Amino acid sequence: MSINGPVTRRQALRAGALGMTGLYVAACGSSSTTQSGASSAASNGSGSASASNSPVTLNWETWNDHYLPAQVTAVKQATGIAARPSLESDDSDGYLKVKQTGGQYDIVSTDALWAPKYFKDGLTEPFDVESLAVSSQLYSVAKQVPFWKAGGGYLVYPNGWSSVNIYYNPKYVSPAPTSWHVLTEPKYAGKVVAENQPTDLMAMAGLATGAKEPYNMTTAEISKAQEFLKAAKPAFLKLVSQNSDSVRALADGSAWMALENLGTDFRVKAAGGPVVKEATPKEGVVGWIDGEQMVKASAHKNRFEQFLNSMEQANWVAQNFLVNGRPLFNEKAYKILVNQGHKERADLLWYNQPERALQLTLKGPSGNVQGVIDAFNQVFGA
Amino acid sequence: MALAPEATAGPVPAATPRRAPLSRRLAPYVGFSPAVVLFGGFFLAPLVLIVLYSFWEVINYNVVHHWTLDNYHYFFSTPTYVSTLWDTVWVAALTTALTLLAAFPLAYWLARYVRPAARRPLLVLIIVPFWTSYLLRVTSWTTILGEKGVLNRFLELIGVIHQPLSFLLYDRPAVILVLIYLYFPFAALTLYASLERFDWMQMRAAMDLGAPPRTAITRILLPQIRPGITVAVIFVFIPVLGEYLTPQLVGGTRGVMIGNLIVNFFQGAEYTRGAAISLLIAAMIVAMLVAFRKQLNMADTHGR
């Protein structure tokens, strides 16, 4: 369109329409929605029998330790399914993104008690976990998690689990910590690092102060937890955004203790750091078990099972363990690790004891998240 | 026989000017349409949403459209938030002052003493840090200020200290130091732009008339580059006020700024609280800009 002289209204409107069309096309992205060969009416996700290799992209809200880049590539080559992982910072972040975007996501990863909330709010659909061929590789306990059963099916395809323990450098920390109250000891001032997860830190404080449900505390329990955290605040050197920062702090000696997931000792050693040991406080530890959920509004529910059947194969899960170092629910992967000479490491991380996962204080939505965040901010504010 | 109208009519009234067609009146503004779409869609609309959110509440992870002032009331009734905001303001003010103090000599030297041909490569050197990511620039300071960092090792090597200094990192001074480093180029370039346009003959004339150098600077130079100083203050103070990543990476638990608390709210899906505090900061910035507006008027400087 060339413009000679003053622009007419028609020219202006045409230019605007062309511009907006271009913006719209760009915003739509490149997700292809070819559904040839697969019935779009198979909304219950049991389309394994009709799985095709037609190309499709699944938008996956997850965490970075749920996949390996090479794994995603291999799945695409085998099934035509291109996974597009989008990282969530926390369960509430993932929950809200799915809630606000409807069918934009196809799969969402979640922890423990968040799964029932997703289902109750109509965001996810249950499926028959036993119908997935790959589920035969799982520990049976992973398929019997009571709060993951709903709607005549299973809410989550189990991935892995971990607890948040105290990792300490025995050269500087003695005796070995036996309680969360070690954080209030003045001799460890400025020598502890933890991840900046307000709900998790408050839950740990809740454990230390006897809260019944640390992730769903009453107002009085929040207040007690806040007082504990205030007393423990001098111990914290910093609150990190990535667990790799905790590893680095332990490795370079700037921190003597870290509140971190299982496997931190191996990661510190791999980073050239000193020997650090794990301690489980007597009050208990918080933890998580996570997995993949099928988003109810997804337009590709018929490819969910095909994707998992390919993605969750034991060989990839075993590699994931070696990279991320926390136990997973795939039993066949454990056997692969044993055959590869990693039994000691796997056993040290309780890989072959998945029942431990259900004994943890598991992550879940808070009934008073505002109170929790307010309490946390009041502790760590200036 | 009818006479021609001009033979019988009186003086012809001036023709009423006809309005140009709408398309012609709008034509000069067509070029603004992309900016209008961008500004309206990606700034004004989200801003309106934030304003609305600040007057609603979150119940069970859902934003409920229940009008309330509770978010603002809670902020002002909680000492931690007020003290953190106050600390943030003075950190921003101190950072701004120190940044300008550090940038002014460099800008003065560049504008006054460096040959024009040599200025360009020096200006490029000031901009070079922007070729690196913000995160990398901040993280690199941990290797400088940490207990096993370059600075501590150097001080131990020359015998000034025998144990590494732990307060250099993960505290408020580290936050201020890194912020000065990050925003130095903004201040330096802005001050340089003002100084470059200054007529240095005025300084010479003032000293010829007996003014010592310090008086010439304070009474002749500084008033005339006041708009540049004001812009430099704005370019440094406003972004520092909203900083959260630098305090998180190098501030530890003692260098927390208000931005960190806002992040915690959004991370916990407490959008309404976070929106209210964000708006309060925005209101502070607008008030500051209004107050500084007069400083940007050159007419005041020359008394015209």
Q: Which residues of B touch A27 (CB under 8 A)?
A: none
- pLDDT score, position B40: 86
Indicate the burial class of A80 (C-beta count within 10 angstroms; 0-12, 13-18, 19 or more): middle
| pLDDT of the residue at B163 | 85
Whether A346 is covered by a domain: the verdict is yes
Tell me: do A237 and A194 sit in the same domain.
yes
Distance CA A38, CA A360 (A): 41
Q: Looking at the structure, do residues A264 and A301 belong to the same domain, yes or no?
A: no
| Residue percentage of chain B with pLDDT more than 70 | 90
Instruction: Note whether residue B145 is domain-resident.
Output: yes
- pLDDT value of position A20: 57
Contacts of B61 in chain A (CB under 8 A): 92, 95-96, 99, 365, 369
Asked if the model's pLDDT at residue B71 lies above 70, the reply is: yes
Confidence at B17, pLDDT banded by 50, 70, 90: low
| Partner-chain contact A380 B253, CB within 8 Å | yes
pLDDT < 70 regions, chain A: 1-7, 9, 11-51
Q: How far is A142 from chain B (nearest CA, A)?
A: 28
Q: Considering the domain boundaries, does residue B158 fall inside one?
A: yes
Residue B39 contacts by C-beta under 8 Å, 6 or more apart in sequence? none
The mean per-residue pLDDT over the stretch B83-90 comes to: 95
Q: What is the pLDDT, as a whole number, of residue B59?
A: 86
DSSP strand pairing (A153-154 vs A149-150): antiparallel
Please provide the DSSP assignment of A68-132 as one string.
-HHHHHHHHHHHSEEEEEEE-SSHHHHHHHHHHHGGG-SEEEEETTHHHHHHHTT-EE-B-GGGS
Task: Assess whether A150 and A122 both reside in one domain.
Answer: yes
Q: Are residues A61 and A114 in the same domain?
A: yes
Q: A112 with A205, same domain?
A: no
Q: Find the helix packing angle between B271-292 and B79-112, rounded to 10°.
A: 40
CA B142, B147, B149, B152 dihedral sign is positive
**Residues near A332 by beta carbon (within 8 Å), at least 6 away in sequence:** A137, A314, A317
At residue B90, the pLDDT reads: 95
CATH of the domain at A249: 3.40.190.10
Domain that holds residue B115: 88-256
Average pLDDT score over residue span B161-183: 91
Q: Is residue A173 part of a domain?
A: yes
Q: Does B16 score more than 80 pLDDT?
A: no
Determine the Cα–Cα distance for residues A356 and A350; give it in Å rounded to an integer. 8
A12, A199, A238 member nearest B23 (Cβ): A12
Q: Give a yes or no: residue B102 inside a domain.
A: yes
- Domain assignment of residue A14, yes or no: no
A332 and A253 co-located in one domain: no
d(Cα B250, Cα B175) in Å, to the nearest integer?
6
pLDDT in the model for residue B180: 97
Counting one residue from chain A and one from chain B, the pairs whose CB atoms sit within 8 A come to 116
A→B interface, C-beta within 8 Å: 6-10, 12, 15-16, 19-20, 23, 89-90, 92-93, 95-96, 99, 190, 196, 198-199, 233, 236-239, 241, 252-254, 365, 367, 369-370, 372-374, 376-378, 380-382
CATH number of the CATH domain containing B200: 1.10.3720.10
pLDDT band at B303 (very low <50, low <70, confident <90, very high): very low
Q: Residue A304 contacts by C-beta under 8 Å, 6 or more apart in sequence?
A: A45, A58, A106, A107, A127, A294, A298
Chain B residues inside the 8 Å CB shell of A363: none
**Helix pair angle (B271-292, B226-241), 10° resolution:** 170
To the nearest whole number, what is the mean pLDDT of chain B?
A: 87
Whether residue A178 is found in the same domain as residue A250: yes
A379 vs chain B: nearest CA distance in angstroms? 8
Please state the rounded mean pLDDT for residues B134-138.
92
Indicate the number of domains in chain B: 1
SS3 content of chain A, % helix, strand, coil (to 5): 45, 20, 35
Q: How far is B292 from chain A (nearest CA, A)?
A: 28
Interface of B with A (CB under 8 A): 22-24, 26-27, 30, 33-34, 37, 58, 60-61, 74, 78, 80-81, 83-84, 87-88, 146-148, 166, 170, 248, 251-253, 256-257, 260-261, 264-265, 267-270, 273
CA distance to partner chain A, nearest, from residue B84 (Å): 5
Residue A136 lies in a domain: yes
Across B58-86, average pLDDT: 91
CA distance to partner chain A, nearest, from residue B68 (Å): 15
Residue of B22, B256, B262, B267 to mutate for A, most A C-beta atoms under 10 A = B267
pTM over 0.90: no
Statement to judge: residues A128 and A69 lie in one domain: yes
Residue B301 to residue A229: CA distance in whole angstroms: 54
Residues B216-232 have a mean pLDDT of: 90
Domain assignment of residue B278, yes or no: no
Show Cβ contacts of residue A96 under 8 Å, excluding neighbours closer than 6 positions. Answer: B61, B269
Does residue A28 form part of some domain?
no
List the single residue in A20, A239, A377 with the smallest CB-CB distance to B253.
A239
Whether A373 and A274 map to the same domain: the answer is yes
Question: How many domains does one find in chain A?
Answer: 2
On whether residue B13 sits in a domain, the answer given is no
A119, A180: one domain? no
Q: Are A198 and A292 found together in one domain?
A: no
Residue A242 counted as domain residue: yes
pLDDT tens column, A130-173: 999 999 999 999 999 999 999 899 999 999 999 999 999 999 99
Asked if residue B46 is part of any domain, the answer here is: no
Position B39 confidence tier, pLDDT thresholds 50, 70, 90: confident
Q: What chain A residue is nearest to B20 in terms of C-alpha separation?
A: A6
Contacts of B80 in chain A (CB under 8 A): 377-378, 381-382
Q: Is residue A23 part of a domain?
A: no
| Nearest Cβ partner for A7 among B27, B58, B84 | B27
Would residue B25 count as lying in a domain? no
Express each pLDDT in A223-282 by its tens digit. Answer: 999 999 999 999 999 999 888 889 999 998 999 999 999 999 999 999 999 999 999 999
What is the extent of the structural domain holding A210? 162-285+363-380
Residue B187 is assigned to a structural domain of this protein: yes
Tell me if residue A167 falls in helix, strand or coil: strand
- pLDDT over 80 at B86, yes or no: yes
- Give how far A48 is from chain B: nearest CA, Å: 35
Q: Clarify whether residues A257 and A170 are in a common domain.
A: yes
